[in-house]
Amino acid sequence: MSLFDRLLGRGRASVTVPVMDGPFLPNQKLEAAEVLTPLSEADNLLPHQGALHASSGAKLVRLGLAGGVEIVETFNAPISALASRGAALAVALDGHGVEIRGGAFDGKSIPAHGEGLRCVTAAAWLSDQELLVCSGSAVARPHEWRRSLMQLDVSGTILRVDLKTGTISKLAGDLAWPAGIAVAGGQIFVAESWRHRILAMPLSGGAAQPALAGLPAYPARISPGASGGFWLSFYSVRNQLVEFILQEHVYRRRMIAEIPEPFWMAPSLSSGHNFKEPMQGSQLKQMGILKPYSVSRSYGLVAYCDARMMPVGSFHSRADGRRHGTVGCCEFGDVLYVASKGSNAVMRIASPMTALSE
Amino acid sequence: MSLSTDIVRWRYKLLPDHVVGEILTKKWVDSAIPFLALVLLIFGFGPFVPHFFELTTLSNLARQFSEFGLLVLGLTVVMISGGIDLSIGSVFALSVLTQLIGMNVEGWSFTTSLLATLGVGVLCGAINGAMVGYVRMRAFLTTLVTLVIYRSIFDLVFPQFSTAIVTTQPDSPMLDTLGDGTIGGIPVSFAITAVIAIALHVVLSRTRYGWRLLAVGGARRSAFNAGINVRWTIFSAYVFGSVLCSLSGFLFAARIGSAASDVGAGLELQALTATVLGGISLGGGRGTVAKAVMGAVFVLLLSNSLLTMAVSGPGADLILGLILILAVFLDVRWTKNRHKLLRNVYISPTYAKLPAPLSADEGSSSPLAPNDTLRDVGVIGLGILEGAEDVIFDRNDILYTGNRHGDILKWFPPNYTRYEVLAHIGGSPLGMAFDRDGRLNVCVAGMGLYQVEMDGTVRRLTAETNRSLFSIVDDSNMKLADDLDIAPDGSIYFSEATTRFEMHDWYADALESRGNGRIIRYDPATKQTKTILPDLVFPNGICMSHDNQSFLFAESWACRISKYYFDGPKKGSVEVVIANLPGYPDNINRSSDGGYWVALMGMRTPALDLALEMPGFRRRMARRCSEDVWLMPNLNTGCVLKFDETGEVSESLWDLGGKNHPMITSMREHKGVLYLCGIFNNRMGTYRLPDADPTFCGVDSYWGPAK
């Protein structure tokens, strides 16, 4: 970035955020969605052995399709990722590697030796004995995602774990918080959150290419959809001020060092809980109303992309809503389930493909 | 505190960079560039050009200026009207010819030939003006064509008389005086031009005709819509410009006494260079006599210097042409970017580190511990009452408040569901106070201090204070009169939150956090208005202390409440009462137990507190980011505190998350109930105070019980 650009705020120093338009045109469908069940720290939704599973902190839970929560197992650390293949379920734990439940390697535990598996943000099975893993960062843990973003962390890697031999090989490195992974059509799709894009890598090996770039939000997990596409969930929307602070290194460093994390001017899974949280101009309630189009640190967004990773449509919970921090979703039996970690709930949207185009 | 923060602090203390923005708001900055160019020319060329500063050179220059200056002034008038006159060189030549024929050949008297010459100017200008103004032809093409036509007439006529002109000399003392006489050492022709220039300056800047000319040049359609006779104005500008040209020609002929066949050729280039260089916009609507004079002097000095340095004629023309191009380039860029530049530099945040706030942690035993007392409170005027900043009661429990439409509303007890408009003032009525005689005094943002009688009569008390000595913006008028209170002697003390921004830009002042505001005293007895406390950081609420010798005032962006003594032994001194509030204080009012209520319009957030120590960060944020995303205090929290004379906070009432009452700007205790106002809210809240005096009325507290 040239000095000239920095002085004038041009080129790479400009702070423009893509507008929510086209397939990302805002609506209130996520905000209005029916709540399946309240679930604290709801995350990692996936179908496993014909039932809907999710994580709630350190607990692995099975969700009844008409409501009801059944605890399957409680782990010794928060669950940061889940991946299912047949009877096998890979469970990544915050800071503690990966555990396998069911299938050929039942009970196997791969410790987080060194930096490798401390920060597993997403996982996907490649075959019955091979697991693909997103390591978000070499310096942060999964719950420290904001810290990773504000530190301009680009130490994320994609790892291939061979469960039989225990070998771990690196497929890609220097990623800015890979947070979602899916294998389809001979390609590996990876959500590179802090660069607001989805990468595609050939399974046969080779360099990663952006499949979808310039997203208006920070993508989290990629979940395969029933009609051949993908559901993308997002941490939060991009905010012009956050992008600006990412270039203001003195302020950024002092903020990280001096201010408690909940009060950072940084994206968040939910907001408005404490009067010490930062406020931005358009968030001022006018005549009793918070404008839905005001900027926000937290947001609820789930988008559907086709098989070529082209966005088709999306569900929103906007600045005035509550269903924020929608980091996980899955389509199961013509219903889209969305985990709102920010509001501790799981929502359901019936016939999601129809709802998209409504 | 580290060295680097010390450096930042002192840099913002010693270098007042807000001054740059304020200078850019001045109209005269347009002249700054030509002035600098002129100074550079004088001191760049002066030492190298022989005889540059000698008296004869100056005298010669003065005579040349008297002719060239008139030409430039004529062109200036036409350009201000939005046109251009390329035919001035030809009109000049025709005028010279007319004068010479009249005086040398035909033997007319001085007056006759002067009138004839000016008549030629009127005729030529009328032709141009009629075609451009009435027929609405393009000025550039039209005058280019008339340039050729007038020149051709000159070329046809001149040879007929050229011999006769040189062989006879007129006998006219008047003409000789005009040609080379002096008054007190000043050439007569120069004096004439100077008088005309001053007169023209007065016309352009002080008269209706001048303003209309500027209006037509600046925005022809708007001028037409405003009822200005656009065609006549343009026509008259061309005529006036041509008359000045012909007068210039007359002076030239008087000085030289003869003419060559190329007289006046290329003058339009020189004059155009002078006007554009002076900063008279080619687009019209902008220009002054001073600029024209500067441009003319520049071009004359330059061409004379080039002549002295033996640069050939074409060479000098080339240089002049290049300078014209440069001047046009600068003119275009300046006109286009001036507003951008102003917007970029006007907001200039300063170093404003706040002391650590009083602890307001949840669950603590501190009186400041957050609670949800104000979340579910009674509501008045939901959806009807828009933007009540302050509220006040009279002895009959009638509630008075302002709204964002500029009305003073009167709400009737006991339910406060029925209301009527007491008076319409306009602006944004903010703080209110009753005086001894039961009149309502109101601060109105954008207007000043007003008084409303109970019969609805509105009276302006003051809208102007003394201008401070070194201010660049005119701070005598009031931009944001905010809150007031009345001392026992009847004098009104009121705060003006900022002198740099209008009310709707209040958050820009928050971003600056500089001492832009002041407290002003209005004395109803003498009707005098005087600033008593300048340089306050967004002074907001004002409340008379119970001791009747002092008043409390809140400085919002400084999170501070102070006390000013206007009487008694400490008269004139200021004491800080609370130095480190956890939020940004707004209005202060008396409570029934001898203490005070203060509304916190918003709460301090660590992210903003950190930014306040980093002015450069805030300045860049203001430039790069839209206002919608700027960091602000957490205004979506309602908070009211009670404190006593010593500054001890005894109670706090909150609406966390601002469900009903975000951004509480004022509150008033009346008969055991606390009424809550918000300038951006659509309601007023009522909270029954458990232990308050059920008979307390603010008016009695100030002026004693009703007689």
All residues of chain B having their beta carbon less than 8 Å from the beta carbon of residue A258 are 606, 610
How does pLDDT run across B558-575, given as a tens digit for each residue? Answer: 999 999 999 889 998 999
- For residues B548-556, average pLDDT: 93
How does pLDDT run across B61-71, given as a tens digit for each residue? Answer: 888 899 999 99
Task: Give the per-residue pLDDT at B142.
Answer: 94
Chain A contact for B635 (CB, 8 A cutoff): yes
The model carries a pTM of 0.82
Q: How far is B682 from chain A (nearest CA, A)?
A: 5
Q: In this complex, do A14 and B624 lie within 8 Å of one another by their Cβ atoms?
A: yes
C-beta of residue B360 within 8 angstroms of C-beta of residue B370? yes
How does pLDDT run across B95-106, given as a tens digit for each residue? Answer: 999 999 988 888
C-beta of residue A56 within 8 angstroms of C-beta of residue A82? no
Q: How far is A240 from chain B (nearest CA, A)?
A: 7
- For residues B233-248, average pLDDT: 95
All residues of chain A having their beta carbon less than 8 Å from the beta carbon of residue B635 are 279, 284-285
User: What whole-number distance in Å separates Cα of residue B273 and Cα of residue A146?
Assistant: 60
Task: Give the per-residue pLDDT at B331.
Answer: 75
User: What whole-number distance in Å separates Cα of residue B53 and Cα of residue B473?
Assistant: 38
Whether omega before B414 lies within 30 degrees of 0, making that bond cis, reads yes
Q: What secondary structure does DSSP assign to B88-102, as a single string?
A: HHHHHHHHHHHHHII
All residues of chain A having their beta carbon less than 8 Å from the beta carbon of residue B614 are 250-251, 254
Chain A contact for B606 (CB, 8 A cutoff): yes
How does pLDDT run across B291-312, given as a tens digit for each residue? Answer: 999 999 988 888 888 888 888 7
Chain B residue at shortest CA distance from A288: B681
Where does the pLDDT of residue A1 fall: very low under 50, low under 70, confident under 90, or very high at 90 and above? low
Task: Give the per-residue pLDDT at A256.
Answer: 94
Question: Where is B298: in which H helix or E strand?
Answer: helix B289-308
Q: In this complex, do A280 and B631 lie within 8 Å of one another by their Cβ atoms?
A: yes
Closest CA to B503 of B586, B434, B445: B445
Q: In this complex, do B610 and A241 lie within 8 Å of one another by their Cβ atoms?
A: no
Task: Give the per-residue pLDDT at B544.
Answer: 92
CA distances from A146 to A15, A233, A246, B2, B339 (A): 19, 16, 12, 29, 38
CA distances from B269 to A182, B92, B265 (A): 72, 13, 9
Where does the pLDDT of residue B264 fall: very low under 50, low under 70, confident under 90, or very high at 90 and above? confident
Q: In this complex, do B610 and A259 lie within 8 Å of one another by their Cβ atoms?
A: yes
Task: Give the per-residue pLDDT at A114.
Answer: 65
All residues of chain A having their beta carbon less than 8 Å from the beta carbon of residue B620 are 9, 244, 248
User: What whole-number distance in Å separates Cα of residue A139 and Cα of residue A148?
Assistant: 8
What is the average pLDDT value for chain A, to the nearest integer? 90
Closest CA to A186 of A205, A207, A202: A202
Chain B residue at shortest CA distance from A254: B610
User: What whole-number distance in Å separates Cα of residue B390 and Cα of residue B601?
Assistant: 12
Chain B residue at shortest CA distance from A241: B629
Q: How many CB atoms lie within 10 A of CB B680?
A: 18
Q: Half-sphere exposure of A39 toward its Cβ, with a 13 Å CA cutoff?
A: 34
Interface of A with B in 175-204 (CB under 8 A): none
Chain B contact for A282 (CB, 8 A cutoff): yes
All residues of chain B having their beta carbon less than 8 Å from the beta carbon of residue A260 are 606
Question: Where is B346: in which H helix or E strand?
Answer: helix B313-346
Tokens representing residue A324 in the block: 């924020």
User: What whole-number distance in Å separates Cα of residue B578 and Cα of residue B563?
Assistant: 10
Q: In this complex, do A275 and B634 lie within 8 Å of one another by their Cβ atoms?
A: yes
Closest CA to B82 of B356, B315, B285: B285
C-beta of residue A236 within 8 angstroms of C-beta of residue A203? no
Closest CA to B174 of B195, B189, B196: B189
All residues of chain B having their beta carbon less than 8 Å from the beta carbon of residue A278 are 605-608, 631, 634
All residues of chain B having their beta carbon less than 8 Å from the beta carbon of residue A285 are 635-636, 658, 662-663, 680-681
How does pLDDT run across B352-366, given as a tens digit for each residue? Answer: 888 888 888 877 778
Chain B contact for A287 (CB, 8 A cutoff): yes
User: What whole-number distance in Å separates Cα of residue B231 and Cα of residue B222?
Assistant: 13
What's the start-to-end Cα distance of chain B, in Å? 59
Q: How many CB atoms lie within 10 A of CB B227?
A: 8
C-beta of residue A110 within 8 angstroms of C-beta of residue A161? yes
- For residues B119-123, average pLDDT: 95
Chain A contact for B358 (CB, 8 A cutoff): no
Find all residues with CB under 8 Å of B19, minimum gap 6, and list them. B472
Chain A contact for B628 (CB, 8 A cutoff): yes
Give the 3-state secondary structure of residue A240.
Answer: helix
pLDDT at B1 over 60: no
How does pLDDT run across B197-214, given as a tens digit for each residue? Answer: 999 999 999 999 999 999
Interface of B with A in 369-398 (CB under 8 A): 370, 386
Q: In this complex, do A241 and B625 lie within 8 Å of one another by their Cβ atoms?
A: yes
Task: Give the per-residue pLDDT at B38.
Answer: 83
Chain A residue at shortest CA distance from B387: A287
Residue written as token pair 């596409």: A229
Chain A contact for B623 (CB, 8 A cutoff): yes
Task: Give the per-residue pLDDT at B214.
Answer: 94
Size of interface A-B (CB pairs under 8 A): 118
Task: Give the per-residue pLDDT at B106.
Answer: 85
Closest CA to B299 of B608, B74, B34, B490: B34
User: What whole-number distance in Å separates Cα of residue B509 and Cα of residue B338?
Assistant: 22
All residues of chain B having their beta carbon less than 8 Å from the beta carbon of residue A240 are 625-626, 629
Whether omega before B413 lies within 30 degrees of 0, making that bond cis, reads no
Tokens representing residue B665 in the block: 């700007």
Q: How many CB atoms lie within 10 A of CB B578?
A: 20
In degrees, to the nearest 5, what angle opens at C-alpha A277 toward C-alphas A273 and A282?
100
Where does the pLDDT of residue B115 fall: very low under 50, low under 70, confident under 90, or very high at 90 and above? very high
Beta bridge pairs of residue A199: A190, A210
Chain A contact for B614 (CB, 8 A cutoff): yes
- For residues B389-418, average pLDDT: 92
How does pLDDT run across A134-149, given as a tens digit for each residue? Answer: 999 999 999 999 999 9
Task: Give the per-residue pLDDT at B9.
Answer: 81
User: What whole-number distance in Å separates Cα of residue A26 and Cα of residue B511?
Assistant: 31
Chain B contact for A109 (CB, 8 A cutoff): no
Question: Where is A339: in which H helix or E strand?
Answer: strand A335-340
All residues of chain A having their beta carbon less than 8 Å from the beta carbon of residue B637 are 275
User: What whole-number distance in Å separates Cα of residue A34 and Cα of residue B223?
Assistant: 60
C-beta of residue B299 within 8 angstroms of C-beta of residue B69? no
pLDDT at A86 over 70: yes
User: What whole-number distance in Å separates Cα of residue A4 and Cα of residue B390?
Assistant: 48
